[in-house]
Homo-oligomer: A and B are copies of this chain.
Amino acid sequence: MQTILEEAVAYARNFLHQGKPASYIPELAKADPNLLGAAIVTVNGETFFSGDYEKSFTIQSISKPIALILALKDNSENYVFSRVGMEPTGDAFNSIIKLETEESSRPLNPMINAGAIAIDSFIKGRNTDVKLNRLLDFFRLLSHNPTLTYDKNVFNSESETGFRNRALANFMKDAGILEGNVEDVLELYFKQCSIEINCKDIATIATVLASNGISPFTNERVCERHYTRLVKTFMVTCGMYDASGEFAVKVGLPAKSGVGGGIMATVPDRMGIGVFSPGLDAKGNSVAGMKVLEYLSTRLDLSIF
């Protein structure tokens, strides 16, 4: 497995030049495009690493499925999915059109920005700090990393320039989708997106999903089976933005990418994979990261299809 992982990373390195760090969040634009790392954690707790696997980066949209689980713990499934849909969308992750043309104004799913912002407004807590701490604790539990926290510079950068997300949040507030104060929800969302993690962390979280809720290092249940299955479904149908269909064909794994350059992929009953490379394609997915996953999926026949 170690050899194959090394091969995958070596193969992916050829595509590093095709990606470009996210430019719309100033702090992310500074990332070194040559970074590339990967980690595998099996459901039995074995670990394999390669490249810049210890380099930390911000979690960004990879946080969406995890925040969804917390919102589902805090609310009934009916409530959550009456306000955020379950359907994939052919629109971009930050598109606002569907909010106006859909009769209910509800965002199509929890993996696009609008849906993820709404989801954050359903997380319980008497103020934003309490909610944030609950979120951080849940991420720490799933990643088996008690030191996880958010990056203040990235948070400030996102908050100062997040006009499109502010537009989405205000639109949903007007439509009665969003709970609470708009700026409070956005603060929580931007802080959540700014959580610093590395390849091992997301591989560990992915392994919890792979084993339907069991931590690979403690063998304890850290998440309900039902929720892990549910988010894996969303990761297949809409985890890779509007390239999810193509990714399903080429890789065939539940996965979630973030504009920080990370991708979290899960192989049911077998392992979790975390990859990282800041260079993104036009749809916002890490170019070299996807190549690592493509290589692993083909070589190890990992596709669920």
Residue on B with the closest CB to A171? B167
How many copies of this kind of chain does the complex include? 4
Cα–Cα distance between A249 and B235 once the two chains are bound (Å): 11
CA distance A243 to B242 in the complex (A): 17
Please name all residues of chain B whose beta carbon is closer than 8 Å to the beta carbon of A85 when the two chains form the complex.
90, 245
How far is the CB of A54 from the nearest CB of chain B, in Å?
Answer: 31
- Tell me which residues from 48 to 93 in chain A have a Cβ below 8 Å from any Cβ of chain B: 85-91
Identify which of B98, B171, B245, B252 contacts A90 (C-beta below 8 A). B98
Contacts of A164 in B (CB 8 A): 170-171, 174
User: By the criterion of a CB under 8 Å from any partner CB, how many residues of chain A are at the interface?
Assistant: 49
Query: Residue A170 contacts which of B163, B232, B237 (CB distance < 8 angstroms)?
Result: B163
* B contact residues around A167 at 8 Å (CB): 96, 166-171, 174
Of chain B, the residue at the smallest CB distance from A90 is B89
Q: DSSP majority for the A interface?
A: helix
Say yes or no for A182: interface residue by CB 8 A criterion. yes
A232 touches B163 (CB 8 A): no
Most buried by B among A237, A254, A305: A305
Determine the residue in chain B with the shortest Cβ distance to A212: B305
Known interface pairs A88-B90, A96-B100; 6 further A-B residue pairs with C-beta atoms within 8 A, sorted by A's residue number: A87-B245, A87-B246, A96-B96, A163-B174, A237-B245, A237-B248
Can you list 14 A-B contacts (CB < 8 A)?
A85-B90, A88-B237, A88-B238, A88-B244, A88-B245, A90-B108, A96-B97, A96-B99, A96-B100, A97-B101, A166-B170, A233-B249, A234-B249, A268-B305
